[in-house]
Amino acid sequence: MTVFVCVCVCVCVCVCSLNSRVTMDAAEFRRRGKEMVDFVADYLENIEHRRVYPDVEPGYLRSMIPSEAPLEPESYEDVLKDVDRVIMPGITHWQSPHFHAYFPSASSYPALLADMLCGGLGCIGFTWAASPACTELETVMLDWLGKMLQLPEDFLAGTKGQGGGVIQGTASEATLMALLAARCKAKTITLNLWSSPLPQAHSSVERAGLIGGVGIRMVATDEHFSVRAETLEKMVAEDKAAGFIPFFFCATLGTTPSCAFDKITELGPLCNAENIWMHIDAAYAGSSFICPEFRPLLDGVEFADSFNFNPHKWLLVNFDCSAMWVKKRTDLIGAFKLDPHWGIPLGRRFRSLKLWFVFRMYGQSGLQAYIRKHVELAKVFETMVKKDKRFEICAEVVLGLVCFRLKGSDELNEALLKEMTHLGRIHLVPCKLRGRFVLRFAVCGRTTELRHVQEAWTHITELSSEQTLPMSGTLLMQKSSVTQDLIIYIRPSC
């Protein structure tokens, strides 16, 4: 009997201590949640005072945390302390107004709150019945967004057409979806795929081809880095003569290296005539098409079978939210056999909440103003570059990206970028254009103002002065500071 009581007490103690140490009840969640909101708000409000690019070596984190997960529960305070100690030193601050690398990663308070709600609801919308609001809001939001872009009615679900929109996680997934749908439609395995050449098309296009198990050909671009119909036409003829079946062309509007635009008004009719599925990847540039003055860049979309862009890049919607439309939804559904799937994953988050919150709280006018401001800031930067005779502009500045370089050797420009990265005050990544090492200045931050752009330029020009910048040598970029998406430029000496 005594033993029995002891065991009971022991079990009770264990269970109680487990409860008090592990469980975060609603009361504590309220408290911690408010603290976390404060933490995030403080972080974002003060972000510009942080070094934008972290000063850590590859592998820095492993030695800072245990090699195995804890057997016993730990306190929330301890976890939070380690966020400061372990995580923050290794963060590249993408939301900083000093961040000018890659393309933007959108963020806004309404989207953050919607994301929190999405996590709280925790529903998985794989069918209408699995969560009706999730399925229905997504369809309506993609129609709202499609109308903001003035997409042809064929692409919208709430019309008599056969099209519709779906939120994918990323543009890479959207390209793969389009490719698989096109392949399924072509119903053959002797296939060929076209896209603009690396590094102009995004690497995800080549990856889609590899995953889809089809042949890939790169199409040469003209002097403006645009694919032209004439070039594609010749290749189609060659390949058909060689017994291949051309079935898919991925056009890019706003290429990753230089934000160039393929000529879809001439490529579209060609693809339609040749029965080639034309997918348009406008991952970054797509957001700008909500402004009437940039909408002509999308002219020709009426010839496309599918179109995709990332609100999570430039439309103030936090990652992940990639909007994809197809002209004929049965093509997409058919590729995955199981109605009603529009993508690879079965489970889907309630991502349309983010769109809904952002659209309503910014309004179309607020979103347009945001895009315009970024483009204006890029123009200011371009003007400053043009005024300095030591520099040159390397591609037309259409939206929020400026490609520029110091006149002179690649080594000189590599050294400049290396020094920038080393100092960590601003963050840029390079690309290769016409075989030259080029610097990309992208306006990214929600809070980037004129003064940040001016400060960035002052910093760049100071570093470029002969006194501070090594003029020769074999300085190489750290691999981690170069976007692998943009370039293939590792020199033979590596």
Could you list the residues that contact ligand PLP (CB under 6 A)?
103, 170-172, 202, 204, 252, 254-256, 281, 283-284, 310, 322, 485
What's the CA gap between 339 and 113, in Å, rounded?
Answer: 32
- What pairing do the DSSP bridges indicate for beta strands 322-326 and 215-218? unpaired
> Helix or strand or coil: residue 452?
helix
Which one, 202 or 440, has the nearer CB to ligand PLP? 202
Q: Which is nearer to ligand PLP, 135 or 308 (CB)?
A: 308
The amino acid at residue 121 is: L
Give the span between the Cα atoms of 329 and 165, in whole angstroms. Answer: 8
Q: Which two tokens stand for residue 152?
A: 């042809």
* Alpha helices per DSSP H over 98-170: 109-121, 132-148
C-alpha 357/C-alpha 332 separation (Å) is 28
Cβ-based nearer residue to ligand PLP, 108 or 196: 196
- Which residue, 183, 431, 176, is CA-closest to 281? 176
Nearer to ligand PLP, 48 or 262 (CB): 262
Going by C-alpha positions, the residue among 135, 142, 134, 126 that lies closest to residue 325 is 142
In the three-class reduction of DSSP (H, G, I as helix; E, B as strand; rest coil), residue 357 is classed as helix
Q: Whole-number minimum distance, CB 311 to ligand PLP, in Å?
A: 10
Q: Indicate the DSSP class of residue 261.
A: B
Helix H segments across 187-324? 203-212, 229-241, 264-274, 311-314
Beta strand pairing call for 245-252 and 215-218? unpaired
288 or 310: whose CB is closer to ligand PLP?
Answer: 310
Closer by beta carbon to ligand PLP, 260 or else 384: 260
Nearer to ligand PLP by C-beta: 176 or 416? 176
Query: By C-alpha distance, which of 130, 137, 149 is closest to 353?
Result: 137
CB-nearer residue toward ligand PLP: 170 or 454? 170
Amino acid symbol at 475 = L
CB distance 138 to 130 below 8 Å: no
* Residue closer to ligand PLP, measured from CB, 108 or 255: 255
Q: Provide the angle, in degrees to the nearest 10, between the axes of the packed helices 450-464 and 352-387.
A: 40
Q: Least distance from C-beta 105 to ligand PLP, angstroms? A: 9
CA pair distance 182, 10, nearest whole angstrom: 64
* Distance of alpha carbon 267 from alpha carbon 254, whole angstroms: 16
In the complex, least distance from residue 162 CB atom to ligand PLP, rounded to whole angstroms? 26
Quote the least distance from Cβ 153 to ligand PLP, whole Å.
26
- Least CB distance from residue 99 to ligand PLP, whole Å? 14
Q: Which is nearer to ligand PLP, 303 or 314 (CB)?
A: 314
Give the whole-angstrom CA distance, residue 155 versus residue 213.
28
Quote the least distance from Cβ 255 to ligand PLP, whole Å. Answer: 6
Q: Shortest distance, CB of residue 467 to ligand PLP, whole angstroms?
A: 36
The nearer residue to ligand PLP, 157 or 167, going by C-beta atoms, is 167
Cβ proximity to ligand PLP, 105 vs 461, nearer residue = 105
CA pair distance 314, 370, nearest whole angstrom: 9
Q: CB of residue 439 vs ligand PLP: minimum separation in angstroms? A: 17
Tokens of 270: 């060609």
Closest CB 202 distance from ligand PLP, rounded Å:
3
Q: Cβ neighbours of residue 138 under 8 Å, at least 6 residues apart? A: 125, 165, 166, 167, 351, 352
Give dist(CA 355, CA 139) in Å, integer: 11
Instruction: Pick the closest to residue 137 from 430, 436, 357 (CA basis).
Output: 357
The least CB distance from residue 427 to ligand PLP, in Å, is 15
CB of 377 to ligand PLP, least distance (A): 19
- d(CA 146, CA 155) in angstroms, rounded, equals 8
Q: Least CB distance from residue 103 to ligand PLP, whole Å?
A: 5
